[in-house]
Structure 1
């Protein structure tokens, strides 16, 4: 079984590093002329599947915008994940789960184990009940060939008091998360890509040493949130692993036509490639 890290490397080599966010919030449903209910959500999901599958390396559905529609919305999310599973595009479910003991086991059953009903290729996790509290998720993901992305240094200002606090061993808590992910990825070997990624916002300088993460770095903030392709390239130079810039609004506003979504994603991907080429 090929692990998530290698599958991600292959997807990026084929389609570039862009991660397209799938965020069906009420205002966007209205902009697309869709109803704010499970039927509108399903139409939104179908357009994203048609536009992004085989176009980008990764898509990132935001679980909250499906969950707000209850069981019917979660059913749409299940169908969306299943739809992408038959394509070259990987899915990263943005649910930011994190807990302890049997509760974390329950989340692992839902999202990560073989046959999980909401199984994506990868899942975002919150480590702020302790990095090691995520052990059930790490184990389940490894057994199923999935990946995880652990929040390290997020863009929201509310995160700073926790993430920039001094960890027991010195350095910031955010750096401790990055370093712990690097330890988890040590089995990938030099130049390899482990299955444990980190999330680091791209809208400002992050102040982290990412040279030892040995896994992927998810970078929200490209486009509408303010980070340009050149910003992302400059801020994440020297990262030891694939850097995945996330764009949602700046691509989704091209909808609801799937071809327009495809074109918007490709254009942004070309801008990222140009920025990388210009940095060398």
Structure 2
């Protein structure tokens, strides 16, 4: 196990994100719906490219996705509308919680540690501006820089999902680069995330750090295996360049903490609410063990 010298985090009395997620996934399936009110998706759904169009988009998502365990929100597609867009995102999150769904804020935050308290106030847990249950984070400034965000996550039962390996082609030259011990950058980051969770909560099933692994096989399976006791988001379901079997092969049978995200594979069936609901149910059945 990699040794890591991050400070100890006090874990709050509430259920961890991992505990909440695994219960919901067992009940509703591990499917997570991507939510992306971009200009292109609003146009495809014949909606105006403004906050009113985004609100109509969110309403249809909410009516179709009442039974999903989680949604993953692309924050910039809301933030581009300014304060009204952030208000819409806060309302959308609240309504998802009313349906019992967890909300992952895909913000990819990455900054110096003295700013992370502000990001926590914006994204994580009850009392934050947006009320998310998890947020994605970029560790390019070092894992220690994310520590204040993880402190809040541990206190409120949320999670920080570290971008261990992303699926965009431009990331390969950085994330697959070899470090001094011949591990790739992604492998070393996965090992450090796992070590940090173990150090912070040695007696718990999950720590406040999770991971995003968007690699192809065999790299995806290797990285997921390096992340025990971590909620791991594995995107790629429904993409034309990814077979379902390849995405699922990264997650061993019986591993109940994986979060499987699908976006275009469902959204392309919109804007009809019934068609969206049917597509979600079909994918839930498709990924059941």
TM-score over 0.5 for the alignment?
yes
The more displaced of 7-16 and 97-106 is 97-106
Q: Which residue does 1:256 correspond to in 2? A: 271
SS in 2 for 1:105: helix
Q: Which residue does 2:258 correspond to in 1? A: 243
SS in 1 for 2:219: coil
Unaligned residue ranges in structure 2 (runs of 5+): 1-13
Cα deviation digits, residues 38-60 of structure 1 (max 9, x gap): 0000011111112112x221100
Q: 1:216 aligns with which of 224, 228, 231?
A: 231
Change (3 A) 1:202 1:259: farther
Q: Which residue does 1:52 correspond to in 2? A: 65
Matches of 1:194 and 1:253, distance apart in 2: 35
Aligned pairs (5 A) from 1:84-95: 84-95=96-107
Contact 1:211 1:238 in 2 (8 A): no
Q: 2:208 aligns with which of 195, 203, 225?
A: 195
SS in 2 for 1:221: strand
Contact 1:154 1:199 in 2 (8 A): yes
Please tell me the root mean square deviation across aligned C-alpha atoms, in Å: 2.0
Q: 1:233 aligns with which of 240, 244, 248?
A: 248
Q: 2:141 aligns with which of 129, 138, 143?
A: 129
What count of residue pairs does the alignment treat as equivalent? 272
Q: Which residue does 2:6 correspond to in 1? A: none
Q: Which residue does 1:31 correspond to in 2? A: 44
SS in 2 for 1:210: helix
SS in 2 for 1:193: coil
Change (3 A) 1:272 1:250: same
Contact 1:95 1:123 in 2 (8 A): yes
How far did residue 210 of structure 1 move?
Answer: 2.7
Cα deviation digits, residues 90-135 of structure 1 (max 9, x gap): 1111000011132222112211254111121111011111111100
Q: Which residue does 1:75 correspond to in 2? A: 87
The more displaced of 230-239 and 40-49 is 230-239
Matches of 2:188 and 2:94, distance apart in 1: 35
Matches of 2:234 and 2:276, distance apart in 1: 20
Unaligned residue ranges in structure 1 (runs of 5+): none
Contact 1:215 1:242 in 2 (8 A): yes
Contact 2:113 2:147 in 1 (8 A): no
Contact 2:154 2:207 in 1 (8 A): no
How far did residue 86 of structure 1 move?
Answer: 1.7
Matches of 1:88 and 1:235, distance apart in 2: 27
Matches of 1:7 and 1:64, distance apart in 2: 26
Matches of 1:16 and 1:109, distance apart in 2: 30
Contact 2:213 2:224 in 1 (8 A): no
Cα deviation digits, residues 203-247 of structure 1 (max 9, x gap): 443253433421111112111242232112223337966222211
How far did residue 80 of structure 1 move?
Answer: 0.5
SS in 1 for 2:37: coil
